[in-house]
Structure 1
């Protein structure tokens, strides 16, 4: 009798698991599984540039990067984890691997396409990075793989539930360029919203962020602000004013079902330190750039910046928490937690 009860309970449990999961070959997903797809620059790059032909300015695969958590350099421009890593943790996902990692195949959890140095415009650091257009091309390739593995219906459902995270634009403003156009920020916004292509493929939930204040970067604080820096500061301020208005227009008038979070990185940093580790604003971390000597700080968690332009793990975690569960003053109508719950 006890054996019969056990057998019955076992069958019930199996039935529940079948209801809660969808299996396709070796891939089984919870019915409400939500993936995370990441696009952007060095703030979000988890190692894609390790797999492309570029130079040391766009790679962080040297010590002391990665020293705090991973104990080895992973390709992240920080001493440890960065914003997408924390968001994945909060969403109960595994670490989202770089798309270009040939060993990574768990695409149903998401993928990270971000590339350090990348811009929204194709011409920004051309030949050294994976620009946003190329990142979206990789994403389309991934969609094809998901359709082959899951079938069209389930692949589209996964893409519709997924959250799409973006950090892009700052390199477009900081990179040298030949033409001086006051409308450049409009070109960036146009390129930025290649995200519409994701919407066409079923994407509905997006996470954006304002650009960080250029003047607070140690690399800029270490030198006198010239005309180019002042111009970049002005354009970033203008960008941050225009972007929320564009998002509202997309939500209300252009893209059906479009929902977004808009993290205010400027607001998020107002009460934080702006100091960086002791080698200050010199681009020397790891000793593989033009300046070979560098001084490593004893405790990176005491600082906002780990190198001349990139946050420490502690700062990344603070910004990730703000993005995940911040109030409307920090994130707009939705924070990322709310998007994952939709």
Structure 2
């Protein structure tokens, strides 16, 4: 509660979000799955239909939820409009980007698709729009937000940047491809470095950044089912 009180006192006028399905407000759905190198999983096609979105928006928005996401609640706290998905801007839809944009894409990884292809598990990816791609979108959009260094300094001083959560899919991909826990642990430094590089790149203009950590994925129903062991929980191994 104390943290919420401190944050709500900040005069943020815009929010820019990077991440995956935990904060995607429609990019994956807008993309039409064109970036996916193989047929889209049925579960992800479902996000364009009810019951997704039914408890708040009353229609499917492309969020992997039946209601709002943490990024939506964050926007509400700072009285900022819900963040439009970046890809909608290039899809004939008109939004005011002055209050921020959402670059997150469901299934996105912190590492590049090439990283996984080189290890023969690229076919397990749901999207090629990794963190570096999302960062590229932001750089492309930036000139429309401010022109001079002085303008940008003033604008981004009142903007909040959310870098993640992202990285969970970097572990999902190899795990679902049959990798062992020992093999996946080797990827951790690479994932951390990718998130760090993106954060450092944003620090060149951003002032306030939040970099959430990954969730305890071993507690998810999918992992508990796939890696069930009568003698030891999956989470205890991580």
Q: Return the TM-score normalized by structure 2.
A: 0.74
> Gaps spanning 5+ residues in structure 2: where?
1-10, 117-123
Report which structure shows greater RCO (CA 8 Å, sep ≥6): 2
Partners of 1:109 and 1:85 in 2: how far apart?
A: 13
> Gaps spanning 5+ residues in structure 1: where?
1-31, 236-342
Deviation at 1:109, TM superposition (A): 0.4
Partners of 2:184 and 2:29 in 1: how far apart?
A: 34
Deviation at 1:147, TM superposition (A): 2.6
Instruction: Determine whether 1:71 maps to 2:58.
Output: yes
* Aligned counterpart for 2:166 among listed residues 162, 165, 168: 168
Deviation at 1:46, TM superposition (A): 0.5
Aligned positions, number: 199
Q: Are the structure 2 counterparts of residues 186 and 234 from structure 1 closer, same or farther at C-alpha, using a change threshold of 3 Å?
A: farther
Instruction: Determine whether 1:89 maps to 2:76.
Output: yes
Instruction: Determine whether 1:197 maps to 2:194.
Output: no
Deviation at 1:234, TM superposition (A): 4.5
- Aligned residue in 1 for 2:6: none
Q: Which runs of 4+ in 1 moved over 2 A?
A: 56-59, 123-129, 177-183, 220-226, 230-235
* Aligned counterpart for 1:36 among listed residues 9, 15, 21: 15
Partners of 1:126 and 1:161 in 2: how far apart?
A: 35
Q: Are the structure 2 counterparts of residues 170 and 184 from structure 1 closer, same or farther at C-alpha, using a change threshold of 3 Å?
A: same
Q: Return the TM-score normalized by structure 1.
A: 0.53
- Aligned residue in 1 for 2:136: 137
Match of 1:189, SS state, is: helix
Deviation at 1:128, TM superposition (A): 2.2
- Aligned residue in 2 for 1:212: 215
Deviation at 1:33, TM superposition (A): 5.3
Q: Are the structure 2 counterparts of residues 182 and 127 from structure 1 closer, same or farther at C-alpha, using a change threshold of 3 Å?
A: closer
> Could you report, residue by residue, the CA deviation over 1:224-250 in whole angstroms, capped at 9, with x for unpaired residues?
437xxx788745xxxxxxxxxxxxxxx
Contact residue 13 and residue 158 of structure 2 kept, 8 A = yes
